[in-house]
Structure 1
Amino acid sequence: MAQIIKTHKPLATQPIKSGQPLGAILASLGIDRCIPLIHGAQGCSAFAKIFFIQHFSEPIPLQSTAMDPITTVMGSDENIIQALAHLCEKSNPRLVVLLSSGLSEAQGTDMNRALKEFRRQYPKFERNEIVTVNTPDFYGSLENGYSALVESLISQLVPEQKIRSIRKKRINLLLSHMLTPGDIELIRQYAEAFGLQPILVPDLSRSMDGHLVKQDYLSVSQGGTDVNMLRQLGQSSLTLVVGPSMQRAGQLLSSRSGVESVYFPHLMTLAEMDRFIQTLQQVSDRQVPEWIDRQRGQVTDTMIDTHTWVNDTRVAIGAEADLLVAWLAFAESVGMQPVSVVAPVNQPCLAALSVDKVLIGDLEDLQQQAEERGCDLLLANSHGAVMAEQLKLPLMRIGFPIFDCFGEFRRVRQGYAGIRDNLFEIANYQQQACHGRPVYHSPLKQPFAQAPLGAEEAFA
């Protein structure tokens, strides 16, 4: 059991935390033809948009209700109604995610009341689904906003069923924010290799993986989980939940539809990956494909090749709780030593971590502990680059946002392929930091004497 310690600083100077609205926006980008609508000031959406464009290098569909000082005081329901009408008329989204901000939460806006009034005034937009979610940015972090939206999608779109029809080859996958588009794509490949039909919620690999679409620019997300498939989550034979923050969503889906869920805290160790593949094998009643067996063999071979460099590596980690759970499990499985663990906010899963202490703080706290205790490798988002330069240590970029390296947003970190590549990357960092011993020169070594010139050479 880890001891949770809160920093005594009055403010965060180098924050790790990202607000709840960012998490809800991130999850909504994994739904097909969706547009998130922030109920707040224009700056709320502009700030978030910059983060996502830097991270994904893609156009980001995002709008705001544009609250101003007058509507903040007098009431802003009309802002919501007009914004929804404009979006449905101009963009025709399949789904609008209406999320709150710190400003609207402090005002006390009832978004559901405004939504009912919109439905009454504009019945012609009844085919456009609208999901509301409360995401105050003065509480929680990106992880809370992400999981809150997934729970809202289930509670507002999945019908309650007492008697249901089961599609034996269909499974649900509720995926945490810690999974990159590359991770999600690999997970889909694992499921489809067993002949299964996975519904991934949300599916960032189809919408934010850096592809060029054939059609013209759209003001909604392009690719992701289809809304009709979201409504059919209750017809699947099993739900696989990946990430601690997705546990409540899995329980909610199970209570509404009766679909059994299997929980995986991460897919970053051989034990959890083997259990994941065995679950797919049991559901499909098929043999494990040869290419998956080969990937597992590559992992075990990589462990042998890199253990002299990876073992006893001292790491400092600053990230959201789901990422901490995954990376600390990975570190323990390969013999690495966590010397500093920092989280932005306290989450229920932190107390169960296999470390002595978890500090609720920022990157400055992470830097101080890394300097005091000695460290070989830093794990954080791109905001940790300055810290890594000051400490002269390598930075392994994880989490959100990552804006100073191309392709990092979709790097595979989980699954057999992710474990293998993580080991190679860490071993290379360690090898580059070790310059080896200088060449030994004996003091007794005689200098090389040039042979005297021969007679022919002297008179040549």
Structure 2
Amino acid sequence: MAKLTHPKRALSTMPLKSSAPLGAALAYLGIDRAIPLFHGSQGCTAFAMVHLVRHFKEAVPLQTTAMNEVSTILGGADQIEEAIENLRKKSAPEFIGIASTALTETRGEDVPGDLRLILQRREDFADTKVVYASTPDFDGALQDGWAKAVEAIVSDLVPRVTERDVDLRQVTLLAGAHLTPGDIDELTRLIRSFGLEPLVLPDISGSLDGHVSDDWSGATQGGTPVARIPEAARSAFTLAIGESMRKAAQIIEDRAMVPYRVFQSVTGLKPVDALVRTLMALSGVADPPPSVKRDRARLVDAALDAHFHTGGVRVAIGADPDLLFSLSTALSSMGAEIVAAVTTSQHSPLFDRMPCDEVVLGDLGDLRRGSEAGAAQILLTHSHGRHLSEALHLPLMRVGFPIFDRIGAQDVCRVGYRGSRAFLYEFANIMQAQHHRATPEDFGAAPIPEEFDHVPHIARH
């Protein structure tokens, strides 16, 4: 059981977290024919755009209401209406997802009330779904913004029902912010192998998977169709991946009486076994498909092969809570020791179950201090950790968002039997590649006299 600590400092020198509005925008990008809209200044949007484009290496249709000095004082309702009108004329989106920023939240605008009046007055907006999520920059991180956006989507678009009209072969998959397009692809493949049809929300595996489209569009191409979102009310079950998706699953249950289960992790043997047992129960089969059993056997073999390079390894990790928990527990189950854990948000109950003594709500500076104190052997965090890796002379395994100094981040998969196997191999290979220089002291012998120190040491690897 870990305790959450928040060091009190005057400034953050090496930021770890990305903002909540960026997380909301990323969730909105998982809807087909969608445009995320930041209600704030142009600078807020430009900053998020840079992160998204550098990570996915794709054009991102992110827009802004472009608040200025006058609208900041008098209110931004006119900017919202004008932005919706312009986006409809230029790009004809089926969905516009609005995310607030610190500017409008600090002013205290009643955006839901303004938006309700706009949609009532402008009947010509009726064919475009407009959803708003409150995501101030100063509260929470990327994961929190994503969660609030998903909650807003299901609150507005999943209908209330009094009688269940169930499609027994359909399940809703609520994807957490820590899942990559490759992760979602693997989970949908696993679900379909049991004869079930997943309704993924949000589905960035269709819109941000790195494909060349036949033509250009000012809105997303791929993702969850807007028309399918209300069908979540007909699903037999909701699979929520990540603790941050619990509230969204509860909203669907309250509105449509759809039972749910939250999987706090789907990385590692035991967590994936739990998911597979649930899928077996939903599909009514007593035995998993042969392909799934084969994948499990391969993961077990990978764990046997990798444990020589994971057991006793001292790990420092910095990530959003869901990803932090998922990867840390998987490595801990393989004998690794989490000596430093730094996270971005306090809005998670997972810290009580973290396999370490302390989780720091902080930045990469805290990760450095924890790494040095715990004599870490490897770092796990996003691309901004490369400076830390160079300073500490430690290998860096890039996880989370953003990853901008490598290509193919959208294809990385670390969930399910296949993804867990790839994760263990990746970690073990990084550790195996580290040069170890054995000295006589390692074997209990006396140190080499200084005058003979130029002689190559034995047992070099």
TM tier, shorter chain? over 0.9
Match of 2:98 in 1: 98
Flag structure 2 segments of 5+ consecutive residues without an equivalent.
Answer: 441-461
TM-score by length of 2: 0.93
- Contact kept? 2:105, 2:136, Cα under 8 Å: yes
Which of 286-295 and 167-176 deviates more? 286-295
SS of 1:433's equivalent in the other structure is coil
Describe the superposition over 1:128-169 as per-residue Cα deviations: whole angstroms up to 9, x where unpaired. 110011110011111111000110111111111111200010
Describe the superposition over 1:308-347 as per-residue Cα deviations: whole angstroms up to 9, x where unpaired. 1111111001111111110121012111000001112212
In 2: Cα distance, 1:25 partner to 1:120 partner? 25
Cα-Cα RMSD:
1.4
Corresponding position: 1:33 with 2:28: no
Match of 1:448 in 2: none
Distance apart, 1:389 and its partner CA? 0.9
- Contact kept? 1:316, 1:378, Cα under 8 Å: yes
In 2: Cα distance, 1:134 partner to 1:2 partner? 30
Match of 1:279 in 2: 278
SS of 2:205's equivalent in the other structure is coil
Which of 280-289 and 308-317 deviates more? 280-289
Match of 1:299 in 2: 299
Corresponding position: 1:262 with 2:265: no
Match of 2:320 in 1: 320
Equivalent pairs, count: 438
Distance apart, 1:121 and its partner CA? 4.0
- Contact kept? 2:318, 2:380, Cα under 8 Å: yes
Distance apart, 1:80 and its partner CA? 0.8
In 2: Cα distance, 1:25 partner to 1:196 partner? 29
SS of 2:317's equivalent in the other structure is strand
Match of 2:139 in 1: 139
- What code does the residue aligned with 1:206 have? G
Match of 1:457 in 2: none
Change (3 A) 1:438 1:364: closer
Distance apart, 1:200 and its partner CA? 0.6
- Contact kept? 1:317, 1:324, Cα under 8 Å: yes
Which of 37-46 and 120-129 deviates more? 120-129
In 1: Cα distance, 2:4 partner to 2:40 partner? 33
Match of 1:242 in 2: 241
Larger Rg: 1
Match of 2:444 in 1: none
Corresponding position: 1:420 with 2:421: yes
What pairs with 1:174-185 in structure 2 (closer than 5 Å)? Answer: 174-185=174-185
Corresponding position: 1:354 with 2:394: no
Corresponding position: 1:368 with 2:383: no
- What code does the residue aligned with 1:210 have? G
- Contact kept? 1:397, 1:408, Cα under 8 Å: no
Distance apart, 1:433 and its partner CA? 1.2
Identity %: 38
Describe the superposition over 1:270-318 as per-residue Cα deviations: whole angstroms up to 9, x where unpaired. 1110111121122112342222111111111111112111111110011
Match of 1:189 in 2: 189
In 1: Cα distance, 2:75 partner to 2:438 partner? 71
- Contact kept? 1:81, 1:114, Cα under 8 Å: no
Match of 1:124 in 2: 124
- Contact kept? 2:242, 2:322, Cα under 8 Å: yes
SS of 1:163's equivalent in the other structure is coil
In 2: Cα distance, 1:354 partner to 1:431 partner? 24
Distance apart, 1:89 and its partner CA? 1.9
What pairs with 1:191-210 in structure 2 (closer than 5 Å)? Answer: 191-210=191-210
What pairs with 1:391-430 in structure 2 (closer than 5 Å)? Answer: 391-430=392-431
What pairs with 1:67-82 in structure 2 (closer than 5 Å)? Answer: 67-82=67-82
In 2: Cα distance, 1:366 partner to 1:415 partner? 28
TM-score by length of 1: 0.93
In 2: Cα distance, 1:359 partner to 1:31 partner? 34
Match of 1:384 in 2: 385
Describe the superposition over 1:180-227 as per-residue Cα deviations: whole angstroms up to 9, x where unpaired. 11010000001111111100111111110111122x110101100111
SS of 2:206's equivalent in the other structure is coil
- Contact kept? 1:4, 1:360, Cα under 8 Å: yes
Flag structure 1 segments of 5+ consecutive residues without an equivalent.
Answer: 440-460
Match of 2:454 in 1: none
SS of 2:150's equivalent in the other structure is helix
Describe the superposition over 1:48-76 as per-residue Cα deviations: whole angstroms up to 9, x where unpaired. 11100000001101110111011111222
Corresponding position: 1:227 with 2:226: yes
In 2: Cα distance, 1:24 partner to 1:151 partner? 10
In 2: Cα distance, 1:55 partner to 1:424 partner? 23
- Contact kept? 1:99, 1:134, Cα under 8 Å: yes
- Contact kept? 2:161, 2:255, Cα under 8 Å: yes
In 2: Cα distance, 1:237 partner to 1:120 partner? 34
Distance apart, 1:351 and its partner CA? 3.0
Match of 1:344 in 2: 344
Q: After the TM superposition, which parts of structure 1 deviate over 6 Å for at least 4 consecutive aligned residues?
A: none
- What code does the residue aligned with 1:60 have? V
